[in-house]
């Protein structure tokens, strides 16, 4: 089977939850013997790879303007899927790219659409963009042969909104923890084992990393630091503000990291915090849980879906800053050396097997 994947910036080592999802999932699909091709946005990748762990990488230059780049890239990816790669199936990730599901169907392609979350809830989008994202969600749910959702929250939403009752619930996954310590890297950041709070994510408003910094400032913790891993796709007013706020208050910013540096920070943190106002099913939270870290998350539905104990959540409302500050203080006073979570539902090998089954059913039923 030839599968062309679009709706993601690319793999490997590209910042983003959907990108991490594809980096873990697609090589496993390819290992089943399928030809998997991911159409990457050239400006987001720093390598000249033509393949990665059995996945073919095909790069297309993209327009670096957030209002248009996704739709233009997806259009071109679908066109190539039909006429260059002669794909048996196209897998579209996220509701923005799903706007072109009818186009893929019109070309005679079989389509699987993965709904990673209601992106129209993200603070960065204006009214027109939000309308287009809602339209993309509707188009994906109406025209895809098969719909995959990553959480039951999303599943219930599309049942109610579009009557799509046959979606397959296949969550994000998490790889086994790789425990490692790079003393030189920790020294470079000026941090010590169990003496820092850790967070990671894109520098966008809905991740609320500014809220975390403000809560940390309020706590005035002696001998503790805050470390944030991540960056912005394109520098904007928010990311510039966030970096300035961090620098002024001694927060360690690592930039986008993966591999041993990230493993080091996850291995040695005292507490992991995810204060988002919007998520799909956060891989960052699952990664922190795989390292048995104490965690603190906003009580939005996507985070609550992980079913953590009550003390692991803070109330996200108009008093979110006060709530986060108080909850961080309480968590830090009651830290445990290790917390074991049930992550059996988030095994990437099982997730790949379930996804391949969706592919096989789609191609079999649409012949």
Whether the domain at 2-173+347-365 and the domain at 183-344 fall into the same CATH topology: yes
The pLDDT value recorded for residue 67 is: 64
Q: What pLDDT sits at residue 65?
A: 67
> What does each of the 367 residues of the chain score in pLDDT, given as a tens digit?
999 999 999 999 998 899 999 999 999 999 999 999 999 999 888 888 999 999 999 999 887 666 688 899 999 999 999 999 999 999 999 999 999 999 999 999 999 999 999 888 877 778 888 999 999 999 999 999 999 999 999 999 999 999 999 999 999 999 999 999 999 999 999 999 999 999 999 999 999 999 999 999 999 999 899 999 999 988 889 999 999 999 999 999 999 999 999 999 999 999 999 999 989 899 999 999 999 999 999 999 999 999 999 999 999 999 999 999 999 999 998 877 678 899 999 999 999 999 999 999 999 975 5
**Strand 51-52 to 55-60 pairing:** antiparallel
| pLDDT of res. 366 | 57
Nearest-angstrom CA–CA distance, 79 and 89: 13
Domain 2-173+347-365 has CATH 1.20.1630.10: no
**Dist. CA 20–CA 24, nearest whole Å:** 6
What is 183-344's CATH number, 3.40.50.2000, 2.40.30.110, 3.40.50.300, 3.40.50.720?
3.40.50.2000
Phi/psi of residue 268, each to 5°? Answer: -115, 5
Cis ω on the peptide bond leading into residue 174 (within 30° of 0)? no
**Exposure string over 43-59, b if 16+ CB within 10 A, otherwise e:** bbbeeeeeebebbbbbb
Cα-based angle 236, 240, 246 (whole degrees, multiple of 5): 150
| Angle value at C-alpha 316, between 315 and 318, nearest 5 degrees | 110
* Tokens encoding 295: 């965690």
Domain-by-domain residue ranges, the chain? Answer: 2-173+347-365, 183-344
């Amino acid at each position: 089977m030839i599968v062309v994947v679009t709706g993601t910036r690319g793999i490997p080592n590209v910042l983003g939850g959907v990108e991490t999802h594809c980096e873990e999932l697609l090589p496993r699909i390819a290992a089943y013997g399928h030809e998997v091709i991911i159409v990457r946005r050239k400006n987001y990748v720093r390598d000249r790879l033509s393949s990665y762990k059995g996945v073919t990488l095909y790069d297309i230059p993209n327009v670096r303007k957030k209002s248009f780049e996704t739709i233009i890239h997806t259009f071109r990816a679908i066109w190539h899927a039909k006429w260059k790669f002669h794909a048996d199936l196209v897998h579209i990730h996220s509701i923005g790219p799903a706007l072109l599901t009818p186009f893929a169907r019109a070309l005679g392609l079989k389509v699987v659409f993965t709904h990673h979350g209601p992106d129209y809830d993200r603070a960065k989008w204006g009214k027109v963009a939000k309308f287009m994202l809602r339209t993309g969600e509707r188009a994906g749910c109406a025209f895809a042969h098969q719909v995959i959702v990553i959480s039951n929250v999303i599943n219930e939403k599309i049942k109610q909104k579009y009557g799509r009752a046959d979606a397959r619930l296949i969550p994000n996954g998490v790889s086994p923890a790789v425990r490692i310590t790079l003393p030189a890297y920790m020294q470079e950041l000026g941090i010590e084992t169990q003496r820092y709070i850790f967070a990671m994510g894109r520098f966008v408003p809905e991740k609320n990393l500014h809220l975390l910094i403000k809560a940390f400032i309020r706590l005035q913790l002696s001998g503790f630091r805050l470390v944030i891993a991540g960056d912005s796709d394109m520098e904007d007013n928010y990311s510039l503000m966030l970096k300035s706020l961090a620098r002024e208050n001694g927060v360690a910013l690592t930039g986008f990291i993966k591999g041993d540096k990230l493993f080091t920070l996850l291995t040695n943190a005292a507490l992991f915090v995810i204060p988002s106002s919007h998520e799909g099913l956060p891989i960052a939270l699952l990664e922190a849980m795989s390292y048995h870290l104490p965690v603190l998350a906003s009580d939005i539905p996507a985070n609550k879906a992980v079913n953590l104990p009550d003390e692991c959540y803070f109330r996200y409302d108009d008093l979110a800053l006060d709530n986060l500050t108080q909850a961080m203080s309480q968590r830090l006073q009651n830290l445990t050396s290790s917390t074991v979570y049930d992550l059996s539902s988030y095994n990437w090998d099982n997730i790949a097997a379930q996804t391949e089954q969706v592919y096989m059913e789609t191609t079999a039923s649409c012949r």
